[in-house]
Amino acid sequence: MRVGAVLERELRFAPRSRGLFVARAVYAAALLAIVATCWLVVTGTQTVATAGDTARFGATLMRILGPLQLCLAMLAAALTGAVVVTTEKDRRTLELLLVSRISDAELVLGKLAASLVRVGLLLVAAVPVFAIAGLFGGVEPAQLARLFVVTAAAALAAASIATTVAFWKDTTFQALAITLFALVAWLAAGELAAARGGGDAGAIVSPARAAFAALDPAGARLLPPFLGVCLGILAATSAIAVASVRRWNVAGEPRQQVAAVAGGGRRPAREVWANPILWREIRTRAYGRAILVVRLAWLVLFAAAVAGVVQEARAARPDRLAIAVAVVPMALASLVAVAALAVTSVTTERDRGSLDLLLVSDLEPAEFVWGKLGGVLVVARELVILPLALCGALAVAGLVTVENAVYLALGMAILLFFAAVLGFHAGLSYQSSRRAIAVALGTVAFLFVGVATVMRIMVAFGSSFELQLAPFLAAIVGGAVGLYAALSARNPSPAIAWASALLPALTFVAITGFLQGNPLQVLLVTAVAYGFATLALLVPAIGAFDLLTGRTTTGE
């Protein structure tokens, strides 16, 4: 079936984007830095003298790079797939596409293919790095090929899910949140299949398990069934989107107006609070009519996580990895969803032209900032409260002490507020909605997926955590430079510079404390690092509000 003009437009304009070249270069450089860091760690803590030693290093290295690339590819594909559709909705250009000569299939498949252009180029940029890493031995070219096939198939399925949800839901936040829920549910289904039918059944369903199976010399037999699952997801979601795209996006009168006419007159005026922004965020449908679906999705995630925790609590020897699999996906999804809600609370206003109306009013910067942040936290209350309740569930199940559960809940609360402020700051700092959303969610992914990668490296290649600071210095410096470039796009400030410099280093200290079993140290370092970063983003957002929003320019 012909994809049509939508993909042709993307292929013409995407290669001209400077951000695409920068992203490819940064991604390849980051992978190469991980390879170099792993080598420095292993040579600094172990003896590498034989070909067998390097082969074991190469095999372990691939088990770090493979899942990392899979996670980033699926997140990037899902993010891009949702944003390329919701941006059209926010700018009211989807209606123009629907009245053009483009067929429904061309529109849906064109948007899907367009969302994969950038992700595909990132995977191509990673091929030489994986080939270099393969020179250590321990992995054959066929295994690397299977790994890339699994990654590409999972990214395609994730993009198809995101595109379908984005055509269905009204707002960018709803599309991103439900897509995150679908991806976590996919991984949970894989773990359930593994628990019921063994590791092979899990590898057929779960992308993460399929990636590890691809690196197994005997994993070739599991590749066709997994590809069948991905193609099934692609076919089902695309068919649903093609059949329903016009029914989902029919323009009509607002429900409030119809209800008022049916009632025989105008609705009575509602009393507005002292902070009108906060009132609008909480008391109106600023984030769409069906945000109830997002809340139900998070309740389902919470129930699944609690079920996993209870199952492990009943075991004679609880598996820490299984507990992490039950808890971490929901925590990460909540952080990403809160950041998505915060950034889209600004970008949607800008795309729909309502931000200009707010800026010419007598609203003070503090009213706008605190109104938006307060509205985000109230609207996303399930996304905030349920991860904290999950920390309490760990204590009730007896898997952690009450003291450690309190530390965990406080740390999670700090990170959730940081994610909200980060998203809001990105929304103010970037005029392009795509770039603002990519920076906000990409920063969250960089910080927390990067944390998981660092922990995996430290556990896999060494036991003396205090001696591993030197090999990680390049990654810490590179992360600091990347954070400063992303966070200070329009408002460079010493506070943001210090936050960018300290955040990666203090995060490394927190990881070390966690691996050494010092939860109080982790909480204190997290509070200092992310608390200061939150203030560094929040204070300039209020102080330089007029500059960030365009009320004034530097020349005035």
User: Which residue, 270, 223, 111, is CA-closest to 175?
Assistant: 111
Asked whether residue 362 carries a pLDDT value surpassing 60, the answer given is yes
Q: Do 419 and 358 share a structural domain?
A: yes
Q: Do 289 and 226 share a structural domain?
A: no
- Is 330 inside any structural domain? yes
Asked whether residue 261 carries a pLDDT value surpassing 70, the answer given is no
User: Which residue, 72, 83, 74, 61, is CA-closest to 24?
Assistant: 72
Three-state SS string over 393-457 comes to: HHHHCCCCCHHHHHHHHHHHHHHHHHHHHHHHHHHHHCCCHHHHHHHHHHHHHHHHHHHHHHHHH
The two structure tokens encoding residue 127 = 């091929």
Asked whether residue 15 carries a pLDDT value surpassing 70, the answer given is no
Handedness of CA 189, 193, 195, 196 (dihedral sign): positive
Query: How far apart are alpha carbons 270 and 285 in whole angstroms?
Result: 14
Q: What mean pLDDT do residues 513-542 have? A: 89
Q: Do 19 and 152 share a structural domain?
A: yes
Query: How far apart are alpha carbons 337 and 340 in whole angstroms?
Result: 5
Query: How far apart are alpha carbons 208 and 210 in whole angstroms?
Result: 5
If pLDDT is split at 50, 70 and 90, which confidence band does 128 have?
Answer: very high
Report the residue count for the chain: 556
| SS3 state of residue 166 | helix
Residue pair 471/52 in contact (Cβ under 8 Å)? The answer is: no
Asked whether residue 258 carries a pLDDT value surpassing 60, the answer given is no
- Is 405 inside any structural domain? yes
Q: Do 322 and 196 share a structural domain?
A: no
- Is 263 inside any structural domain? no
- Is 269 inside any structural domain? no
If pLDDT is split at 50, 70 and 90, which confidence band does 297 have?
Answer: very high
Q: What mean pLDDT do residues 239-261 have? A: 69
- Is 260 inside any structural domain? no
Query: How far apart are alpha carbons 556 and 551 in whole angstroms?
Result: 10
Asked whether residue 109 carries a pLDDT value surpassing 50, the answer given is yes
Q: Do 281 and 208 share a structural domain?
A: no
Q: Do 183 and 93 share a structural domain?
A: yes
What is the model's pTM?
0.87
Query: How far apart are alpha carbons 393 and 301 in whole angstroms?
Result: 14
Q: Do 173 and 83 share a structural domain?
A: yes
- Is 339 inside any structural domain? yes
Q: Do 331 and 213 share a structural domain?
A: no
Residue pair 349/380 in contact (Cβ under 8 Å)? The answer is: no
pLDDT score of 465: 58
State the greatest distance between any 2 C-alpha atoms of the chain, in Å, as a whole number.
87
pLDDT score of 356: 77
Asked whether residue 260 carries a pLDDT value surpassing 70, the answer given is no
The two structure tokens encoding residue 19 = 């951000």
Cβ-Cβ contacts under 8 Å for 43 (sequence gap 6 or more): none
Handedness of CA 375, 381, 382, 388 (dihedral sign): positive
Query: How far apart are alpha carbons 194 and 512 in whole angstroms?
Result: 31
- For the chain, give the mean pLDDT: 85
Q: Judging by beta carbons within 10 Å of its beta carbon (0-12, 13-18, 19+), is residue 382 exposed, middle or buried?
A: buried
Q: Do 495 and 415 share a structural domain?
A: yes
Q: Do 485 and 388 share a structural domain?
A: yes
Among 407-416, 455-464, 518-527, the range scoring the smallest mean pLDDT is: 455-464
Q: What mean pLDDT do residues 341-354 have? A: 87
Asked whether residue 178 carries a pLDDT value surpassing 80, the answer given is yes
Query: How far apart are alpha carbons 550 and 540 in whole angstroms?
Result: 14
User: Which residue, 22, 27, 217, 198, is CA-closest to 126?
Assistant: 27
Residue pair 424/369 in contact (Cβ under 8 Å)? The answer is: yes
pLDDT score of 254: 46
Q: Judging by beta carbons within 10 Å of its beta carbon (0-12, 13-18, 19+), is residue 402 exposed, middle or buried?
A: exposed
Residue range(s) defining the domain that contains residue 394: 276-549
Q: How many domains does the chain have?
A: 2
DSSP letter assigned to residue 100: S
Asked whether residue 275 carries a pLDDT value surpassing 90, the answer given is no
Cα 462 to chain centroid distance, Å, stands at: 29
Instruction: Quickly count: other Cβ atoms within 10 Å of residue 100's Cβ.
Output: 11
Give 36-46 pLDDT, tens digit per residue: 888 888 877 66
If pLDDT is split at 50, 70 and 90, which confidence band does 255 have?
Answer: very low
Q: Do 497 and 387 share a structural domain?
A: yes
- Is 283 inside any structural domain? yes
- Is 264 inside any structural domain? no
Q: Do 161 and 209 share a structural domain?
A: yes
Asked whether residue 436 carries a pLDDT value surpassing 60, the answer given is yes
Q: Judging by beta carbons within 10 Å of its beta carbon (0-12, 13-18, 19+), is residue 258 exposed, middle or buried?
A: exposed
Query: How far apart are alpha carbons 251 and 60 in whole angstroms?
Result: 54
Q: What mean pLDDT do residues 461-475 have? A: 67
Asked whether residue 195 carries a pLDDT value surpassing 50, the answer given is yes
